[in-house]
Amino acid sequence: MPGIPDRQIDGQLPLSAPEAIARRRATPHFDASRPVPDEWLKRVLHLATLAPSGFNLQPWRFLVVRDARNRRKLQASAFQQPKIAEAPVVVIVLGYHHPHRTHLEAIVNQMSTLGVITPEAGAEMRARASRTMERVSDLALWTTRSTMLAAATLMIAAESLGLASAPMEGFQPDKVKEAFGIPNDHTVCCLIALGFATGEKPFPGRFGLAEVCYEEHFGQPWTLGEA
Ligand SMILES: Cc1cc2nc3c(=O)[nH]c(=O)nc-3n(C[C@H](O)[C@H](O)[C@H](O)COP(=O)(O)O)c2cc1C
């Protein structure tokens, strides 16, 4: 991105994707005295918007909460989780239900301007996306799929640039919506705290590939071994 240094905050180069993925932890405590520079916040959010989405409809919306009073208000809707008050930034990650009704035209136009779609393919995409989306029975589930990919991308991007993160599902969606004026055609998918960790959190471990992978058919054992 123009004007934004391609560096971590402490002057190091960004971590590679494998390094960032391996180092990321759900950070338990943040340094409340260290703000996140605006340029880094914008960069992390921009990288999150590069996530994939169904029909490129980009249903994610990010409500960025930095004001300390608003973070306390959010904390009251999230079982008083301490990291919401400590972290200088908390993102309320929202999944919008109707981008096919309000944004499809703009998306097709942008793809057309970028030269990645012909006028005929654009018309076909408009019709197909609209038809398919109007048949979706669970729009909250639909939007959560793509929005959580953006949330994961956001956390990896943050880690790569030197920012710690913490995803949260421990909140009361109705309370969050009421407190922040979020309309009902948006699902509160998760909260993500961003900032600088206090202390190191040890890696809590993961199952091996043999536990989580199957080959060719559900239940058929994994034979390639571990990475
Ligand atoms: C969707 C989701 C919701 C989570 N919600 C919370 C939460 O509300 N509070 C919390 O302390 N941790 C929460 N976590 C963090 C997990 O406990 C953590 O990711 C897990 O223990 C593995 O630790 P690691 O991410 O540091 O490897 C959440 C993680 C995910 C992916």
Which atom of ligand 1 is nearest to 28's Cα?
11
The answer to whether 94 and 65 are in contact (CB under 8 A) is: no
Q: Answer yes or no: is 213 within a domain.
A: no
Q: Answer yes or no: is 9 within a domain.
A: no
Q: Name which of 148, 188, 149, 159 is nearest 65 in CA terms.
A: 188
Question: Can you give the pLDDT at residue 165?
Answer: 98
CATH number for 157? 3.40.109.10
Q: Give Cβ neighbours of residue 52 (< 8 Å, ≥ 6 apart).
A: 146, 149
| Residue 4 confidence class, pLDDT cut points 50, 70, 90 | low
The answer to whether 87 and 31 are in contact (CB under 8 A) is: no
The answer, yes or no, to whether residue 74 has pLDDT greater than 80, is: yes
Q: Answer yes or no: is 10 within a domain.
A: no
Question: Can you give the pLDDT at residue 61?
Answer: 99
Q: Answer yes or no: is 226 within a domain.
A: no
The answer, yes or no, to whether residue 6 has pLDDT greater than 80, is: no
Give distance in angstroms: CA of 223 to centre of ligand 1: 30
On whether the pTM is more than 0.85, the answer is: yes
The answer to whether 128 and 107 are in contact (CB under 8 A) is: no
Q: Answer yes or no: is 211 within a domain.
A: no
Give distance in angstroms: CA of 75 to centre of ligand 1: 16
* Predicted confidence (pLDDT) per residue in 179-227, tens digit: 999 999 999 999 999 999 999 999 999 999 999 999 999 999 999 999 9
How many domains in the chain?
A: 1
Please tell me if the CB atom of residue 195 comes closer than 6 angstroms to any atom of ligand 1: no
Mutate to test the pocket of ligand 1, among 24, 159, 169, 171 (most ligand atoms within 8 A of CB): 169
Give distance in angstroms: CA of 109 to centre of ligand 1: 38
Question: Can you give the pLDDT at residue 2?
Answer: 46
* Predicted confidence (pLDDT) per residue in 111-167, tens digit: 999 999 999 999 999 999 999 999 999 999 999 999 999 999 999 999 999 999 999
Q: Answer yes or no: is 207 within a domain.
A: no
* Predicted confidence (pLDDT) per residue in 208-220, tens digit: 999 999 999 999 9
Q: Answer yes or no: is 90 within a domain.
A: yes
Give distance in angstroms: CA of 23 to centre of ligand 1: 14
Please tell me if the CB atom of residue 26 comes closer than 6 angstroms to any atom of ligand 1: yes
Q: Give Cβ neighbours of residue 149 (< 8 Å, ≥ 6 apart).
A: 51, 52, 53
Question: Can you give the pLDDT at residue 5?
Answer: 56
Q: Answer yes or no: is 166 within a domain.
A: yes
Residue 139 sits in which domain range?
A: 17-200
Q: Name which of 97, 90, 71, 70 is nearest 168 in CA terms.
A: 90
Q: What is the 3-state secondary structure (H, E, C) of 20-84?
A: HHHHCCECCCECCCCCCCHHHHHHHHHHHCCCCCHHHCCCEEEEEECCHHHHHHHHHCCCCCHHH
Q: What is the 3-state secondary structure (H, E, C) of the chain?
A: CCCCCCCCCCCCCCCCHHHHHHHCCECCCECCCCCCCHHHHHHHHHHHCCCCCHHHCCCEEEEEECCHHHHHHHHHCCCCCHHHHHCCEEEEEEEECCHHHHCHHHHHHHHHHCCCCCHHHHHHHHHHHHHHHHCCCCHHHHHHHHHHHHHHHHHHHHHHHCCEEEEECCCCHHHHHHHHCCCCCEEEEEEEEEECECCCCCCCCCCCHHHHCCCCCCCCCCCCCCC
More confident residue, 10 or 21: 21
Question: Can you give the pLDDT at residue 8?
Answer: 79
State the Cα–Cα distance between residues 192 and 119, nearest whole angstrom.
39
Across the chain, mean pLDDT equals 96
